[in-house]
Amino acid sequence: MARKKRLNFLVSLASVPLFLGLWELVSRAQIVNPVLFPSPSVVLAALQDWIASGDFTLDLISSVARVSAGFIIGSVHGIAMGILTGRSAFFSALVGPVFQILRPIPPIAFVPIVILWFGLSETGKLFLIVWGVFFTVWLATHLGVQKVDDGLIRAARMLGTPRRRLLYEVIFLGALPFIFVGLRTAVSISFYTLVAAELAGAFSGIFYRIEVAQQNMQTGRVMAGLMVLGLISFLADRGFASLSQRLVWWR
């Protein structure tokens, strides 16, 4: 078993270099148009130029700030509303059908109306990311609260547990494994939604720079931007997974 784990670990380490090597070979062999499908070495050179220009730091900070703010706002409101609808049949009946109708609408569909509502301000970009995060976290929290054992709730009430402690120590902590699944999913969704947000008239950001590069046929810069987005999203997901294992150790 230990040998198999080590082998799998080594394979996982080698997978990225193998992928990049195969990509380099395909591009250099000109099986496809190298202008449309540049090699990793060209992409790396484009990334170095992007960093040297001074735009990379501003773009990275802008995108991460948008994702972070939208994720926090959407998550806080999603958890609060999920607890409310999960515990109250009345509120679930009142807003549940509306949320279920709105939830499948992709944030990118709102770009034209968001530009009309908010112009090119950061508020519109934040709205799109919050939209993408909120419904995912709300649904996970709602289901998690409904899965909490009613026997535990009755036992806590019989022991005279105050309502606030009951809400936190029994209901919230009982639903926390489900909430963290929703939050982890929302981390990825927030980066998907960043694309829609920066389409709504941004003047800095990773996808904004990708769009500018695409208009100028700088395919290497486009690929560099996509790889940066993928790397940041991957690191955020891994970090959140590690955090959830520490905080929700009993699941």
- Residues 112 and 124 sit within 8 Å (Cβ to Cβ): no
Delineate the domains of the chain, giving CATH numbers in brackets: 42-247 (1.10.3720.10)
Calculate mean pLDDT across residues 5-14: 73
Per-residue model confidence as pLDDT tens digits over 39-91: 888 889 999 998 998 889 999 999 999 999 999 999 999 999 999 998 888 88
Q: What integer pLDDT is reported at residue 83 of this predicted model? A: 92
Q: What integer pLDDT is reported at residue 120 of this predicted model? A: 78
- Residues 195 and 211 sit within 8 Å (Cβ to Cβ): no
**pLDDT surpasses 80 at 168:** no
